Amino acid sequence: MMLRFASLLFTGLIAAQTATADGELNAKLIADFRSYPNSNAGTIVSGQSLELNIDAYQDFGAARGVLELVARIDDQDSGRRILEARQAYISTEIGGFEVYLGNRQEFWGKAESTNIVDVVNQQDAAADQGGAGKLGAPSVSIERYADYGDLQFWYMPNFRELTFNDADAHPSGELPVKAARYQRSEGRNADDFAFRFSTVVDDWDLAGSLFYGTARTPILSVVDMGTALEPYYAEQRSIGLEAQYTGDATLLKWESLHGKQDGKDFFAAVAGLENTLHGVLDQVWDLGLIAEAQYDGRPQAAAERFYVAGLRLTLNDAKDTSLLLLTSQDEAKDQSLISFDASRRLNSWSSINFGAKFFDAKTTTSVFGFLDDDDTISVKLNMFF
């Protein structure tokens, strides 16, 4: 693995230096140092990983090839080790339609704290990279951009499973994860379909989507007399709605998803407000105030209702320094999460991130109760080639 990674790294860095007129190749190397200050006995107290991202595109006449490769090694956690084509597709325009074939990454949604309508990709949850940590969706997708709005159609013939950290790594339920069970008999080979229409009407960005396929987030159960976790992927049929109102300094956001999962009706929604104050403390700083309310009636949710409050400070300096503080609390005031992220450019080829996450729960058998020992402090050094 190490040798393969090193040779990949070398090839990537050499190739990154060459760029042609109708193509480009860039690389990024991320060194990630993590510490788990609250870890239970028998679990790891720290970890380090090295991740190489290769990002390339090449135009061939009317077609374009795009490749985004992620290779990650980790000294402790096999769940974080991955060689993944986050994107590897060919695209071309046929009769006013953009057609894509291969692994693709796509984002749907409007909210900040969670994106329940973002159904195309599976999460690389073990990577703990938030929305950036996705697995490529093997797919055929077609898009059309028209005056009245934009249409997307997705066919996804291969399901990607959520990634899990090792039982002794973080975050984890400290139990080994068994092979997944599927509601649909074709399992991983069942076909998934998604469709979305999005449009802009003055200050409103609106979208509606349909999904039929396998739910991305599994329902986890403790099995084998409490010695293992078993993921169960249910069938999902759903309608997603998105809206964002963009005012002068205020954004109003809405995402909702309703339909059937595992044969049962469900509803989930996020409503949010974001207001930005400019020039705070007589500096050129921007302070964003974020408030979101989440409702999720699915069994995967840690609690039905969560309330999120956050602050985003952007210094608007030459180093692009920014800080984000988010707090999340369930309605019963049982489970809570505080997360902090700060980033700053070091020079033209590197930047640094500092992150911290603290889980808290009164009920030890709740989801956050399981995550109580998964508090994380991380420092990431990003290098660009």
Partner 1 sequence: MRLLIATSIAVLSSFILNSTHALADKGLEIAMEVIERDQGWGDSSSKMTMVLKDKYGQSTQRSLRNSSLEGSSQGDKSLVIFDTPGDVRGTAFLSHTKKTGSDDQWLYLPALKRVKRIASSNKAGPFMGSEFSFEDIASQEIEKYTYKYLREEKYNGVDCFVVQYDPVDRKSGYSVQETWVDKSKYIVLKTEYYDRKKSLLKTLTFDGYKKYKGKFWRADTFIMINHQTGKETELQYENWVFGTGLSEKDFNKNMLKRVK
Beta-carbon contacts of 99 under 8 Å, excluding residues fewer than 6 positions away, are 91, 92, 93, 140, 141, 142
Return the residue of 35, 183, 276, 327 that touches partner 1, per CB under 8 A. 276
Cα–Cα distance list, 66 to 103, 141, 313 (Å): 9, 14, 34
Return the residue of 57, 195, 232, 254 that touches partner 1, per CB under 8 A. 57
Distance CA 288, CA 324 (A): 9
Of 236, 198, 191, residue with least CA distance to 216: 236
> Quick one: 145 or 267, whose CB is closer to partner 1?
145
Q: What angle do CA 73, 78, 81 make, to 5 degrees?
A: 35
Instruction: Say whether residue 60 binds partner 1 (CB under 8 A).
Output: no
Return the residue of 8, 9, 13, 26 that touches partner 1, per CB under 8 A. 26
Return the residue of 131, 158, 237, 332 that touches partner 1, per CB under 8 A. 131
What is the DSSP code (8-state) at residue 179? Answer: P
Instruction: Say whether residue 284 binds partner 1 (CB under 8 A).
Output: yes
Instruction: Say whether residue 281 binds partner 1 (CB under 8 A).
Output: no
Instruction: Say whether residue 63 binds partner 1 (CB under 8 A).
Output: no
CB of 342 to partner 1, least distance (A): 14
Instruction: Report how many residues bind partner 1 under the rule CB under 8 A.
Output: 44
Candidate segments 227-235, 254-262, 318-326, 330-338, binder of partner 1 by CB under 8 A: 318-326
Report the relative pairing of strands 235-246 and 23-35 from DSSP bridges.
Answer: unpaired
Q: Taking the CA atoms of 355, 360, 364 and 365 in sequence, report the sign of the dihedral they define.
A: negative
Return the residue of 117, 137, 162, 251 that touches partner 1, per CB under 8 A. 251
Token readout for 90 is 């060919």
Of residues 69 through 128, those in contact with partner 1 by CB under 8 A are 98, 105-107
Beta-carbon contacts of 383 under 8 Å, excluding residues fewer than 6 positions away, are 28, 29, 30, 31, 349, 350
Side chain identity at 249, as an amino acid letter?
A
Instruction: Say whether residue 280 binds partner 1 (CB under 8 A).
Output: no
Distance CA 79, CA 337 (A): 23
Return the residue of 4, 237, 264, 278 that touches partner 1, per CB under 8 A. 278
CB of 354 to partner 1, least distance (A): 14
Token readout for 142 is 């077609």
Return the residue of 67, 143, 228, 360 that touches partner 1, per CB under 8 A. 143
Instruction: Say whether residue 226 binds partner 1 (CB under 8 A).
Output: no
Of 87, 100, 116, residue with least CA distance to 211: 116
> Quick one: 148 or 185, whose CB is closer to partner 1?
148
Return the residue of 201, 318, 333, 364 that touches partner 1, per CB under 8 A. 318
Tell me, rounded to whole angstroms, the distance of Cα 331 from its chain centroid.
24
CB of 178 to partner 1, least distance (A): 31
Distance CA 112, CA 314 (A): 16
CB of 326 to partner 1, least distance (A): 16
Return the residue of 39, 113, 244, 378 that touches partner 1, per CB under 8 A. 244
What is the DSSP code (8-state) at residue 300? Answer: T
> Quick one: 193 or 349, whose CB is closer to partner 1?
349
With contact defined as beta carbons under 8 Å apart, do 164 and 178 qualify?
A: no
> Quick one: 113 or 382, whose CB is closer to partner 1?
382
Where do contacts with partner 1 occur on this chain (CB under 8 A)? 24, 26, 28, 55, 57, 66, 98, 105-107, 131-132, 143, 145, 150, 200, 205, 244, 246-251, 276, 278-279, 284, 286, 316-320, 345, 347-351, 382-385
